């Protein structure tokens, strides 16, 4: 007997795995499972959809286009590319309290920050404060790599094209202009500010930029971006960081400031306002538009009606489907079994 | 000057090398010749493809031959062109590196296995003569060189092709077993080169100074030409019978010495060593078509991107974000085209090829491990030799089967015989055969008691053939270790082949008659007066003597050396007495036959038997008992005897003779030792053997009769030949022959001749002349044999049964139900073929048999037309008939075409082909008998090419090889007839019945798995790539991606690569039991193919839809917001991954913990990777640096809101369609499930009815509550 057992050493193992008899769940999508499933999904979606819709409704958004294409626009004068250091102001009014914290965005349309060659045109090592790359920027930055054989810092197209309009917001209180304090701190990503972008550890910062030139388009070198706050200069300038985080789509807005301080911590009260714009950025050449956007945010982000509606539609579709399935099931299934 | 001469000599040596090979002993003093010897290859073998140094370039070169890899390399190279680069160059190298290294690792592993085997073989030791030490020393195989003398002992393996110079056998022969070479386990005889100082004297290599000239290495195993020139100048021709082939085993010979003529890779064994099979499956061919579509799609997408980008650039008027404005829009568009090709590269599922290979390996693993395909008796599993056509098993439409050994066991067992015109039905024997079979079926596997004798024998035999190790096999099949295992596993059980003796139960009547001979009561004078004439008695004795000696069976026994003669037992009767009897018989046959035939021959055996018992009941009974007792004791003493025969028929006959106590005990060159009942051992001097050949279809032995001293010729052969040669053919015997054939037995005729002395002397002279002639010896020998084999006296015939394998009828029926047309192609006689067809249910009683036998082409053409008409008419009447027949017998009546080889030849000709095809298409089955191997393959080829169907050929013998090779799927049955069929097959099984599971379950699964996997793979790629494409509409078609490029590359290579593999290996669309129970499913799956162009486009459309959803839901959710590029991509990527994984859950028919684990791990690996990457990757991966993206995104509820919406929306249509489909067309699984539930529910239904009738209850509520959830309850209610 022992011998015979030895003889059978070729015998396959009789395990559930080798014999393909593993206990298996068969996801049989019969009507019996699908109909209740659809009903449940439908109900859940309708619930979420309603919540989203209501939330989205409660979000206030105020958009002001200041491109100045139209002749009656206060900024029409500035839209001429030959005009330098042009200032214009837009007036607007708010009917009800614009609940805070209010987010102050600037928006651009038809602007392709996601253009592949544009996106690649920067030097990550330079921006992380590596002095080696100050004198010798990456070739990715080309044609914004050197200006008259001097390395450009920060190099590249993204940095070069940095948005340089600035805004001041005034509330008109009894005919006088009361400046609304704008909070420019923490508008960039924490990781960008603390990890990704670093100034070279040279004091004063200006010395690090010796032998380099500012980007062609810029009016001031990087170490003088924010004359009011010395800590907000160089590569960790908040506006610079926001700009460097490229937008996904050609119509985008970027956070400019938040309104969180003083009398406006609760939001912008109803009333008249004036927005003073230092108009620098040319957009007309590519049919772009410039605008400012005031918005408050909720747990689901900015105002977006699409998601709520989509949830509601899909939820109702699921319910309808389950009813259809039920009918089909009843029609085709029951007679068969008689 | 010397060196010049040397060079010249070498050169001339090389020239010599080109024409023929000169071999002299290695110790030769002739410098020129020893230089020449050095030119020949050594015995070291290297089957590895690579060496350490050559691996990288060679492997790369080989891999680059594949189109897929070239594509990868092209993409990688493209990415190094700055203007078109899409990712960092190093990223685009990852896929190609990964694919190449996976393949390289596989290649290294295979090569390493080969190296190990080679090493093992090269280090084997053998005795080689050393001229300095004047003795044989141990040398490694690899050190053996041409011209060496090698001494081998019994059971040793031959290290190189050698010329046999000496054998310890006094006749100068030795036996080799060529199982390692061609799988034939019978022993082959090899002869010492003639003209050498022969036997007895120990061979001394020093004295050998002959020169051998032979042809250059050729791979023809059976051909060897050359001559040996002795020092005396005499030339002697050399044949293949002088050559010992590498990797064969020496058997039954103590010592042999030979000189190596071919070594290493120049040996015939190595030259016959071909690589593994590569076939391309149908599915793969169609897959290539779809890949072409993918290419078209890719080009369209890239073109539209290029044009889009050109237009976009053209419309831009010097924007601030413009990077450079030097390149013209057209050129930029051209660049973008290539960039897009890189970005969208995964659309062409190159990794699919690697995945398919892996999936097939997995499928093979499961096929290989299936217990149902394992044969416990032989301890052999299915062998999967072709690794890439598993799914073809699920597509078979035509099955071509050999008969002998495939449908039948090819285990020849003596069943019945007819001697002197008297039939001995051997009823007990027949019963026993049936019982044995039934028992075997019952005990499926566990060694049946009856078999124990056999297995014991085989064990002892194995201990005898100690060196039967698998090592030798490596030299032959050193391709891979796997293959070796298969081969070696194969050899061992085959020793069981010749133990059929156990199954012969003697016929009592015949035993009684035989008993008369040995019974001392018999008075010789009374013989003629008794009911059994002495003439008949002598016929019977001669018959059994012929069975025992007229063969080339080699006898061996583990206890004694083959040469040793066993001591002669004391005869029961005085020799003199017997001699007298035989002397009287020896002339009586002639007189008896010429004068009259005994009247009692016409009696029916039954009446004779009854008369027997009446007249002499006591004695007969006693006789049988005595004989039985004697046989029992014989069984003990002879159980150790082993017969090794060239054909199983021979073995069966020897065993049959042994059952009647005519035991062949020992065979030497000059004599045979035979036990005869009542006489004990007799030495029969053997004068000549005229071996079997297929032209004569017979073989003869010429012996000197041990008792009479006369020269007697015993001939055994095919009935057709012997009946012609026999002097007076007997009608009675012919009748028996016919009835045997009808029963499906294999028939052989036994005849004898006592040539007159003068006649013999004349013949002897011719024979010697023929034997010694060098030129056309074969022809002369043939003629000589034919001269002797005339005027034969027919002794009798034998019927040998070749039993049907177990479950053959069931298997054939199952296969036919599965819609597979079964053809039987056999070389056998028409009657036998038809009988087997009946036996295996290929033919039913109500089937209409069409036979096509015609002598000329015109007749054949006419016949085909006629048959076609008949079938057409028949079909008309059949249709209304079938309804009735079907209902009554359950099987559809149809036409069966039986065609013989000659007619087939005509039918296969160009003009008649189409008619023949048309006819066969209408037939349920076709039986081709008397067909040659070539015809078999022609038939398969005709069907395969003309009808464009998937064909499968199954066979076991060398004659099936061509058919197996031609068919899409070739299956070899590892049976009794050697391994040629197995060697050329794609799959080798041990039993015909395994076919049903292999095709119906594994074939079905493999096909559906692979087809679904491919579709899924294409879906996955199209779906993901389209996401990137849609983004192009929003980035000016500039080739931007919204995902980190590492994630992009890994998405296909890592995050979603394993689930499809698991899906392709483990999915079971229908449970195995259901597939086996409902063979129709095979056909159904076949007609409603999973993998058809429609399915491809539906899949692509669904992929488009899903990618649209997956892209535009996040798009609308983020439109106008401050979302960054990568933040936008994050929910898209995540939901795409989840959609792809969940899509598979929907598509899978079964989910096991392995599926779940892999799915979870895949998802987990994605999240793990992107999260880690977004934390750790500070400056890496420049254009798409992911730092902080995912961590931020995944902390926001919006991310999840988007993902959930996207996933549900994307999967909803498919989910819905699946559900609807399952409701409207419940699959077989659901149906069978329902059936089960219905059966189980019958009782409860009855109960319910009962309760309902008794209490008018809550019908409605039951219905409403359970309408959707419980079909069984619902059905009960309705």
Return the CA Rg of chain A. Answer: 30
Give residue B663's pLDDT.
84
Which two three-digit tokens encode residue B184? Answer: 């034939």
Give residue B86's pLDDT.
76
Q: How does pLDDT run across B433-445, given as a tens digit for each residue?
A: 665 544 444 443 3
B742 and B659 assigned to the same domain: yes
Q: Which domain holds residue B93?
A: 55-67+80-120
The whole-angstrom separation of Cα B534 and Cα B525 is 9
Higher per-residue confidence, B661 vs B184: B661
Tell me which of B775, B801, B827 is where a domain ends.
B801
B1104 and B1191 assigned to the same domain: yes
Map residue B1063 onto helix, strand or coil: helix
Q: How does pLDDT run across B578-595, given as a tens digit for each residue?
A: 556 555 544 433 333 333
Would residue B569 count as lying in a domain?
A: no
DSSP E strand boundaries for A131-207: 146-147, 150-151, 166-173, 176-179
Map residue B803 onto helix, strand or coil: strand
pLDDT for residue B633 is more than 60: no
Using the beta-carbon criterion (under 8 Å), do B319 and A111 form an inter-chain contact? yes
Would residue B491 count as lying in a domain?
A: no
The whole-angstrom separation of Cα B1026 and Cα B1111 is 9
Query: What is the enclosing helix (H) or strand (E) of B1160?
Result: helix B1153-1176
Would residue B311 count as lying in a domain?
A: yes
Provide the whole-model pTM.
Answer: 0.76
The whole-angstrom separation of Cα B563 and Cα A77 is 123
- Cβ atoms of B116 and B142 within 8 Å: the answer is no
CA distance B1009 to chain A (A): 14
B108 and B136 assigned to the same domain: no
Using the beta-carbon criterion (under 8 Å), do B1179 and A196 form an inter-chain contact? yes
Considering only CA atoms, which of B249, B212, B252, B204 is closest in space to residue B230? B212
Contacts of B1209 in chain A (CB under 8 A): 310, 314
Give residue B793's pLDDT.
85
Residues 62-121 of A with CB under 8 A from B: 105, 107, 111-121
Q: How does pLDDT run across A90-141, given as a tens digit for each residue?
A: 999 999 999 888 999 999 999 999 998 898 888 888 898 888 888 888 888 8
Ramachandran class of B416: left when φ > 0, alpha when ψ lies in -120 to 50, beta otherwise: beta
Residue B852 carries which DSSP code? E
Give residue B176's pLDDT.
83
Q: What is the mean pLDDT of residues B475-481?
A: 35
Q: How does pLDDT run across B120-135, given as a tens digit for each residue?
A: 888 888 888 887 888 8
Using the beta-carbon criterion (under 8 Å), do A19 and B1191 form an inter-chain contact? no
The whole-angstrom separation of Cα B424 and Cα B432 is 16
B819 and B902 assigned to the same domain: yes
The whole-angstrom separation of Cα B22 and Cα B227 is 10
The whole-angstrom separation of Cα B511 and Cα B420 is 15
Give residue B615's pLDDT.
39
Q: What is the mean pLDDT of residues A29-33?
A: 71
Residue B248 carries which DSSP code? -
Residue B563 carries which DSSP code? T
B344 and B390 assigned to the same domain: no
The whole-angstrom separation of Cα B261 and Cα B1150 is 61
pLDDT for residue B67 is more than 90: no
Contacts of A32 in chain B (CB under 8 A): 1268-1271
Would residue B977 count as lying in a domain?
A: yes
B828 and B905 assigned to the same domain: yes
Least confident of A215-229, B87-101, B927-941, B1020-1034: B87-101
Residue B639: C-alpha distances to residues B500, B567, B667 (Å): 12, 17, 17
Which two three-digit tokens encode residue B1154? Answer: 């392995």
The CA angle B1128-B1129-B1131, to the nearest 5 degrees, is 85
Question: Chain A contact for B332, CB < 8 A?
Answer: no
The whole-angstrom separation of Cα B58 and Cα B1265 is 70
Which two three-digit tokens encode residue B495? Answer: 């020793």
B108 and B23 assigned to the same domain: no
Contacts for B26 with CB less than 8 Å, ≥ 6 apart: B34, B37, B131, B145, B146, B147, B148, B149
Q: What is the mean pLDDT of residues B676-694?
A: 79
Confidence of residue B325 (pLDDT cuts 50, 70, 90): low
3-state secondary structure A244-263: HCCECCCCEEEEEEEECCHH
Neighbours of B850 (CB within 10 A): 21
3-state secondary structure B321-333: CCCCCCCCHHHHH
The whole-angstrom separation of Cα B693 and Cα B675 is 28
Considering only CA atoms, which of A236, A237, A252, A213 is closest in space to residue A115? A252
B926 and B1060 assigned to the same domain: no
Residues 110-149 of A with CB under 8 A from B: 111-122, 124-125, 128, 140, 142-143
Would residue B723 count as lying in a domain?
A: yes
> Is B485 annotated as contributing to ligand binding?
no
Confidence of residue B522 (pLDDT cuts 50, 70, 90): very low
Q: What is the mean pLDDT of residues B1079-1088?
A: 74
pLDDT for residue B983 is more than 80: no
Question: Chain A contact for B329, CB < 8 A?
Answer: no
- Cβ atoms of A242 and A106 within 8 Å: the answer is no
Interface test with A, best of B1045, B1068, B1122 (most A CBs within 10 A): B1122
% chain B with pLDDT above 90: 12
Residues 1174-1193 of B with CB under 8 A from A: 1178-1179, 1182-1185, 1187-1188, 1191-1192
Q: How does pLDDT run across B138-170, given as a tens digit for each residue?
A: 888 888 888 888 888 888 888 888 888 888 877
Q: How many domains does chain B have?
A: 6
Contacts for B132 with CB less than 8 Å, ≥ 6 apart: none
Using the beta-carbon criterion (under 8 Å), do B321 and A118 form an inter-chain contact? yes
Would residue B914 count as lying in a domain?
A: yes
pLDDT for residue B1276 is more than 50: no
Contacts for B955 with CB less than 8 Å, ≥ 6 apart: B401, B402, B405, B406, B936, B961, B963, B964, B971, B972, B973, B981
Which residue in A has a C-alpha nearest to residue B445's C-alpha? A8
Query: B677 exposed, middle or buried (CB, 10 Å; 0-12, 13-18, 19+)?
Result: buried
Higher per-residue confidence, B1275 vs B90: B90
B853 and B967 assigned to the same domain: yes
Helices (H), A203-259: 205-208, 238-244
Q: What is the mean pLDDT of residues B991-999?
A: 90
Which two three-digit tokens encode residue A12? Answer: 């396959």
The whole-angstrom separation of Cα A325 and Cα A333 is 11
Contacts for B1229 with CB less than 8 Å, ≥ 6 apart: A26, A28, B1069, B1070, B1071, B1074, B1149
The whole-angstrom separation of Cα B427 and Cα B508 is 9
Question: Chain B contact for A5, CB < 8 A?
Answer: no
Q: How does pLDDT run across B369-406, given as a tens digit for each residue?
A: 998 888 887 778 888 877 778 888 888 889 999 887 78
Using the beta-carbon criterion (under 8 Å), do B318 and A285 form an inter-chain contact? yes
Candidates A8, A121, A325; nearest CB to B376: A8
Residue B986 carries which DSSP code? S
Transcribe B613-656 into DSSP letters. Answer: HHHSHHHHHHHHHHHHHHHHHHHHHHTT-EEE-SSHHHHHHHHH
Question: Chain A contact for B1222, CB < 8 A?
Answer: yes
Give residue B197's pLDDT.
54
B712 and B789 assigned to the same domain: yes
Higher per-residue confidence, B562 vs B1017: B1017
Give residue B888's pLDDT.
40
pLDDT for residue B692 is more than 80: no
The whole-angstrom separation of Cα B319 and Cα A160 is 12
Q: What is the mean pLDDT of residues B888-900?
A: 69
User: Residue B11 sits in a domain of what CATH number?
Assistant: 2.70.150.10
Using the beta-carbon criterion (under 8 Å), do A26 and B1229 form an inter-chain contact? yes
- Cβ atoms of A249 and A114 within 8 Å: the answer is yes
Map residue B140 onto helix, strand or coil: strand
B669 and B739 assigned to the same domain: yes
What are the CB-based long-range contacts (under 8 Å, 24+) for A222-229? A222/A153, A222/A154
3-state secondary structure B1213-1239: HHHHHHHHHHHHCCCHHHHHHHHHHHH
Residues of B with catalytic function:
402
Tell me which of B801, B822, B839 is where a domain ends.
B801
For B824-843, b/e burial (b = at least 16 CB within 10 A) is: bbbbbbbbbbbbbbbbbbbb
The whole-angstrom separation of Cα B544 and Cα B663 is 9
User: Residue B728 sits in a domain of what CATH number?
Assistant: 3.40.1110.10
Using the beta-carbon criterion (under 8 Å), do B1219 and A30 form an inter-chain contact? yes
% chain B with pLDDT above 70: 75
Using the beta-carbon criterion (under 8 Å), do A325 and B1205 form an inter-chain contact? no
Query: What is the enclosing helix (H) or strand (E) of B163?
Result: strand B161-167
Q: How does pLDDT run across B1196-1225, given as a tens digit for each residue?
A: 999 999 999 999 999 999 888 888 877 776
Give residue A337's pLDDT.
45
Give residue B27's pLDDT.
72
Which two three-digit tokens encode residue B1042? Answer: 């919204």
Specify the length of chain A in residues: 338
CA trace torsion B201, B202, B204, B209 (10° rounding): 40
pLDDT for residue B275 is more than 80: no
The whole-angstrom separation of Cα A166 and Cα A184 is 12
Which two three-digit tokens encode residue B977? Answer: 């007839």
Contacts of B1178 in chain A (CB under 8 A): 128, 195-196
Would residue B17 count as lying in a domain?
A: yes
Which two three-digit tokens encode residue B195? Answer: 């003209």
Give residue B1201's pLDDT.
94
- Cβ atoms of B726 and B751 within 8 Å: the answer is yes
B199 and B250 assigned to the same domain: yes
């Amino acid at each position: 007997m022992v011998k015979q057992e030895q003889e059978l050493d070729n015998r396959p193992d009789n395990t559930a795995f080798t014999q393909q008899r593993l206990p298996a769940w068969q996801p049989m999508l019969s009507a019996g499972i699908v109909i209740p499933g659809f009903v449940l999904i439908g109900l859940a979606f309708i619930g979420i959809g309603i919540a989203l819709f209501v939330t989205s409704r409660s979000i206030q958004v105020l958009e002001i286009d200041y491109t100045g294409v139209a002749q009656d626009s206060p900024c029409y004068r500035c839209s001429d590319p030959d005009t330098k250091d042009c200032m214009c102001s837009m007036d607007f009014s708010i009917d009800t309290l614009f609940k805070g914290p209010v987010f102050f965005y600037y928006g651009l349309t038809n602007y392709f920050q996601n253009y592949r060659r544009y996106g690649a045109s920067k030097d990550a090592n330079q921006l992380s404060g590596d002095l080696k790359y100050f004198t010798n920027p990456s070739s990715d930055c080309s044609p914004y790599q050197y200006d008259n054989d001097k390395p450009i810092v920060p190099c590249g197209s993204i940095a070069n094209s940095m948005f340089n309009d600035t805004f001041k917001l005034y509330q008109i209180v009894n005919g006088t202009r009361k400046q609304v304090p704008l909070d420019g701190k923490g508008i960039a990503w924490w990781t960008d500010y603390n990890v990704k972008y670093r100034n070279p550890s040279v004091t004063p910062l200006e010395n690090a930029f010796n032998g380099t030139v500012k980007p062609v388009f810029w009016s001031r070198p990087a170490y003088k971006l924010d004359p009011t706050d010395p800590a907000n200069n160089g590569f960790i300038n908040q506006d610079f960081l926001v700009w460097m985080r490229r937008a996904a789509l050609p119509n985008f807005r970027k956070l400019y400031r938040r309104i969180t301080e003083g009398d406006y911590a609760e939001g912008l009260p109803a009333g008249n306002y004036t927005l003073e714009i230092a108009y620098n950025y040319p957009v007309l050449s590519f049919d772009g538009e410039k605008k400012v956007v005031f918005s408050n945010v909720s747990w689901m982000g900015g105002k977006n009606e699409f998601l709520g509606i989509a949830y509601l539609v899909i939820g109702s579709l699921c319910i309808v489907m389950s009813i259809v399935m039920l009918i089909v099931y009843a029609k085709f299934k029951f007679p068969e079994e008689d | 000057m010397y060196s010049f001469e040397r060079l010249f000599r070498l050169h001339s040596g090389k020239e010599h090398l080109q024409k023929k090979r000169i071999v002299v002993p290695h110790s030769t003093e002739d410098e020129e010749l020893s230089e020449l010897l050095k030119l020949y290859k050594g015995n070291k073998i290297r089957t590895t493809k690579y060496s350490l140094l050559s691996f990288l370039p060679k492997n790369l070169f080989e891999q680059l031959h594949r189109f897929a890899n070239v594509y990868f390399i092209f993409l990688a190279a493209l990415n190094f062109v700055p203007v078109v680069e899409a990712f960092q160059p190093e990223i685009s190298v990852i896929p190609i590196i990964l694919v190449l290294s996976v393949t390289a690792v596989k290649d290294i592993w295979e090569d390493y296995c080969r190296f190990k085997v080679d090493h093992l073989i090269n280090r084997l030791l053998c005795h080689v003569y050393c001229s300095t030490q004047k003795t044989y020393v141990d040398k490694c195989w690899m050190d053996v060189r041409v011209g060496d003398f090698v001494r081998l002992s019994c059971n040793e393996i031959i290290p190189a092709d050698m010329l046999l110079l000496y054998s310890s056998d006094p006749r100068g022969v030795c036996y080799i077993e060529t199982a390692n070479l061609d799988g034939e386990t019978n022993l082959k005889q090899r002869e010492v080169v003639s003209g050498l100082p022969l036997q007895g004297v120990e061979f001394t290599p020093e004295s050998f100074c002959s020169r051998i000239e032979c042809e250059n290495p050729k791979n023809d195993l059976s051909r060897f030409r050359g001559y040996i020139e002795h020092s005396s100048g005499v030339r002697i021709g050399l044949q293949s019978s002088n050559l010992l082939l590498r990797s064969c085993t020496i058997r039954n010979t103590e010592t042999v010495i030979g000189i190596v003529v071919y070594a290493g890779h120049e040996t015939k064994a190595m030259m016959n060593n071909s690589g593994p099979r590569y076939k391309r499956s149908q599915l793969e061919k169609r897959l290539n078509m779809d890949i072409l579509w993918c290419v078209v799609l890719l080009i369209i997408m890239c073109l539209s991107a290029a044009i889009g980008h050109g237009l976009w650039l053209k419309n831009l008027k010097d924007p601030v974000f413009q990077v450079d404005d030097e390149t013209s829009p057209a050129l930029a568009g051209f660049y973008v085209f290539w960039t897009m090709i890189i970005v969208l590269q995964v659309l062409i599922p190159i990794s699919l090829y690697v995945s398919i290979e892996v999936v097939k390996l997995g499928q093979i693993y499961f096929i290989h491990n299936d217990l149902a395909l394992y044969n416990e008796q032989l301890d052999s599993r299915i062998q999967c030799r072709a690794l890439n056509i598993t799914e073809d098993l699920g597509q078979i439409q035509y099955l071509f089967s050999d008969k002998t050994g495939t449908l039948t066991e090819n285990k020849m067992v003596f069943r019945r015989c007819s001697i002197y015109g008297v039939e001995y039905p051997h009823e007990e024997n027949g019963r026993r055969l049936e019982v044995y079979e039934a028992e075997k079926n019952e005990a499926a596997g566990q060694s049946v008691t009856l078999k124990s004798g056999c297995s014991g024998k085989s064990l002892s035999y194995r201990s005898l053939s100690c060196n039967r190790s698998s090592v030798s096999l490596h030299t032959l099949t050193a391709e891979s270790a796997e293959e070796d295992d298969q081969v070696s596993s194969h050899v061992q059980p085959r020793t069981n082949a010749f133990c059929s003796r156990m199954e012969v139960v003697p016929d009592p009547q015949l035993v009684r008659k035989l008993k008369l001979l040995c019974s001392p009561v018999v008075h010789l004078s009374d013989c003629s007066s008794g009911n059994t004439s002495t003439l008949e008695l002598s016929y019977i004795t001669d018959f059994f003597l012929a069975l025992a000696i007229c063969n080339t069976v080699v006898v061996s026994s583990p206890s004694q050396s083959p040469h040793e003669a066993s001591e002669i037992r004391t005869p029961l009767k005085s020799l003199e007495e017997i001699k007298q009897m035989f002397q009287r018989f020896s002339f009586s046959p002639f007189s008896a036959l010429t004068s009259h035939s005994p009247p009692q021959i016409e009696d029916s055996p039954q009446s004779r038997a009854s008369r027997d018992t009446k007249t002499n009941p006591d004695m007969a009974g006693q006789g049988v008992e005595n004989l039985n007792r004697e046989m029992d004791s014989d069984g003990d003493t002879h159980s150790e005897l082993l017969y090794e025969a060239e054909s199983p028929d021979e073995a069966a006959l020897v065993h049959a003779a042994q059952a009647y106590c005519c035991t062949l005990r020992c065979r030497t060159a000059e004599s045979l030792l035979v036990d005869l009942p009542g006489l004990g051992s007799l030495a029969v001097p053997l004068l000549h053997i005229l071996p079997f050949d297929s032209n004569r279809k017979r073989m003869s032995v010429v012996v000197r009769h041990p008792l009479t001293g006369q020269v007697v010729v015993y001939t055994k052969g095919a009935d057709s030949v012997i009946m012609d040669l026999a002097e007076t053919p007997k009608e009675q015997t012919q009748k028996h022959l016919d009835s045997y054939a009808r029963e499906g037995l294999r028939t052989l005729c036994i005849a004898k001749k006592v040539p007159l002395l003068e006649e013999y002397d004349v013949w002897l002279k011719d024979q010697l002349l023929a034997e010694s002639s060098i030129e056309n010896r074969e022809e002369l020998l043939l003629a000589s044999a034919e001269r002797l084999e005339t005027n034969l006296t027919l002794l009798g015939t034998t019927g040998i049964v070749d039993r049907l394998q177990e479950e053959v009828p069931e298997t054939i029926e199952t296969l036919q139900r599965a819609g597979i047309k079964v053809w039987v192609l056999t070389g056998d006689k028409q009657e036998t073929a038809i009988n087997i067809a009946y036996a295996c249910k290929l033919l039913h009683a109500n089937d209409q048999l069409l036979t096509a036998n015609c002598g000329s082409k015109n007749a054949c053409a006419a016949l085909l037309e006629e048959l076609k008409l008949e079938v057409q008419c028949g079909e008309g009447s059949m249709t209304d008939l079938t309804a009735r027949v079907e209902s009554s017998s359950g099987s559809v009546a149809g036409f069966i075409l039986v065609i013989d080889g000659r007619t087939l030849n005509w039918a296969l000709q160009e003009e008649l082909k189409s008619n023949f095809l048309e006819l066969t298409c209408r037939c349920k089955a076709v039986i081709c008998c008397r067909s040659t191997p070539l015809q078999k393959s022609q038939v398969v080829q005709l069907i395969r090419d003309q009808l464009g169907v998937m064909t499968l050929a199954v066979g076991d013998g060398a004659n099936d090889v061509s058919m197996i090779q031609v068919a899409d799927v070739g299956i070899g049955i590892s049976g009794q007839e050697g391994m040629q069929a197995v060697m050329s097959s794609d799959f080798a099984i041990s039993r015909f019945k395994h076919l049903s599971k292999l095709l119906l379950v594994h074939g079905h699964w493999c096909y559906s798995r692979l087809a679904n996997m491919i579709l899924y793979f294409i879906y996955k790629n199209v779906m993901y790539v389209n996401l990137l494409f849609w983004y192009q509409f929003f980035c000016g078609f500039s080739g931007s991606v919204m995902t980190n490029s590492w994630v992009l590359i890994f998405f296909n290579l890592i995050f979603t690569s394993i689930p499809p593999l698991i899906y392709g290996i483990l999915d079971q669309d229908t449970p195995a039991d259901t597939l086996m129970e409902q063979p129709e499913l095979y056909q159904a799956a076949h007609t409603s193919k999973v993998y058809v162009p429609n399915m491809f486009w539906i899949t692509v459309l669904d992929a488009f839809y899903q990618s649209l959803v997956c892209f535009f839901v996040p798009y609308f959710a983020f439109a106008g917001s401050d979302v960054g590029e990568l933040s936008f991509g994050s929910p898209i990527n995540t939901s795409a991954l989840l959609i792809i994984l969940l899509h598979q859950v929907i598509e899978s028919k079964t989910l096991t913990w392995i599926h779940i684990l892999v799915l979870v791990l895949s998802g987990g690996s994605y999240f793990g990777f992107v999260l880690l990457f977004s934390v750790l990757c500070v400056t890496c991966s420049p254009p798409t640096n992911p730092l902080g993206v995912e961590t931020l995104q995944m902390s926001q509820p919006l991310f999840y809101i988007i993902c959930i919406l996207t996933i549900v929306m994307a999967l909803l249509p498919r989910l819905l369609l699946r559900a609807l489909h399952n409701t409207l067309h419940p699959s077989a699984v659901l149906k069978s499930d329902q059936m089960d539930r219905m059966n189980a529910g019958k009782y409860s239904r009855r109960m319910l009815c009962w309760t309902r009738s008794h209490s008018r209850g809550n019908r409605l509520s039951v219905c409403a509550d359970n309408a959707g959830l419980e079909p069984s309850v619902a059905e009960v209610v309705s």
